[in-house]
Amino acid sequence: MSRIAYVNGRYLPHALAGVHVEDRGFQFADGVYEVIAVQGGRFVDEGHHLNRLDRSLTEIRMAWPMSRRSMRLVMREVIRRNRIFRRGIIYIQVTRGAAPRNFAFPASVESSLVMTARTLPPLDPAAMREGVSVIIVPDRRWPRRDIKSVSLLPNVLAKQQAVDHKAFEAWQVDDDGVITEGTSSNAWIVTAEGELVTRRADTAILSGVTRRMIMAICAEHGVTFAEKGFTVDQAKSAREAFLTSTTALVTPVVHIDGDSIGGGEIGPITERLLAFYLDHMLKPQDQYL
């Protein structure tokens, strides 16, 4: 079955879907986005993702393209038309709309909304536990990384650098030598002293929804953690390391720049948090937070 995309009120074959050549997302990266997981036909942490979308839109002074209720209805129709009954993702992008090219905001232009969806392979916890490699790169992004902007060129270049080095992800480092986050994930370590650490969510990183849910899971199950920075040296000497994201869930990091972490195997805290998160994904959720 061919995929179906939603573009500004129309459901179109994926291959024929498009926006105007002067859409500001295309010309200026003047837009924001969200990616939401689908598991068992249900959206995972839908309310938290829509709350973050609302925050991103507010920060860049952009209007919602429709009401939140209407957006939820369109999201479900996109999933239905793409027959995503088991596992998949939906991509939501909002831009400031199409207008004659000018850096300043256009007057009286409606925001543009695009949604696409695709199926993902079934969850394979055994494969996830094998772990991945990451490399360290300088963080070259703009200062407002807390906004989920479609301006992702530095992320693209860093991710390709990871691919060139046969790594899964690149962890970015600020000018003080402190790790910020991955190109599409948040970074965590268990220090040599046994402390679970992830960087505080300020303007230097995107506050990942999966990151937030892991924090909630930690609080629920009595796993202590700290929100603070950690250096490359601390990461390379860590007992454990892992990354979190909507699509990668909780993935152990077993090599950093080729250096083995935790003996090259998933650690006990990562193992425990992965199990808790898989349970969270598979149980019914409040879709309307």
Residue at token pair 């609302």: 54
In this predicted structure, the answer to whether residue 286 has a pLDDT above a threshold of 60 is: no
Tell me the average pLDDT across 176-195: 97
In this predicted structure, the answer to whether residue 1 has a pLDDT above a threshold of 90 is: no
What is the model's pTM?
Answer: 0.95
- Interatomic CA distance for residues 53 and 48, integer angstroms: 9
Name the strand (E) or helix (H) holding 70.
helix 68-81
Q: How many CA atoms lie within 13 A of 271 on its CB side?
A: 8
Where residue 283 falls among pLDDT bands split at 50, 70, 90?
A: confident
DSSP result, 119-151? E-PPP-HHHHTT-EEEEEEE--S-S-TTS-BS-
- Interatomic CA distance for residues 110 and 103, integer angstroms: 16
- Interatomic CA distance for residues 187 and 144, integer angstroms: 18
Which of 80, 93, 104 lies closest to 32, judged by CA? Answer: 93
pLDDT tens across 186-199, in order?
Answer: 999 999 999 999 99
pLDDT tens across 240-260, in order?
Answer: 999 999 999 999 999 999 999
Residue at token pair 């105007």: 20
Tell me which of 148, 159, 236, 283 is the catalytic residue. 148
pLDDT tens across 45-101, in order?
Answer: 999 999 999 999 999 999 999 999 999 999 999 999 999 999 999 999 999 999 999
Tell me which fold the domain 125-282 belongs to.
Answer: D-amino Acid Aminotransferase; Chain A, domain 2 (3.20.10)
Q: What DSSP state is assigned to residue 98?
A: B
Tell me which fold the domain 4-119 belongs to.
Answer: D-amino Acid Aminotransferase; Chain A, domain 1 (3.30.470)
CB atoms within 10 A of CB 81: 15
* Stretch(es) of the chain classified as CATH 3.30.470.10: 4-119
Sign of the dihedral through C-alpha 23, 27, 32, 38: positive
- Interatomic CA distance for residues 53 and 56, integer angstroms: 5
Question: How does 100-129 read in b/e, with b if 16+ C-beta sit within 10 Å?
Answer: eeeeeeeeeeebbbbbbbeeeeeeeeeebb
Contact 199, 188 (CB under 8 A): no
Active site residue 283: no
In this predicted structure, the answer to whether residue 289 has a pLDDT above a threshold of 70 is: no
- Over its C-alpha atoms, the chain yields an Rg (Å, rounded) of 19
Chain CA centroid to CA 195, Å: 24
DSSP result, 218-240? HHHHT---EE---BHHHHHT-SE
* Stretch(es) of the chain classified as CATH 3.20.10.10: 125-282
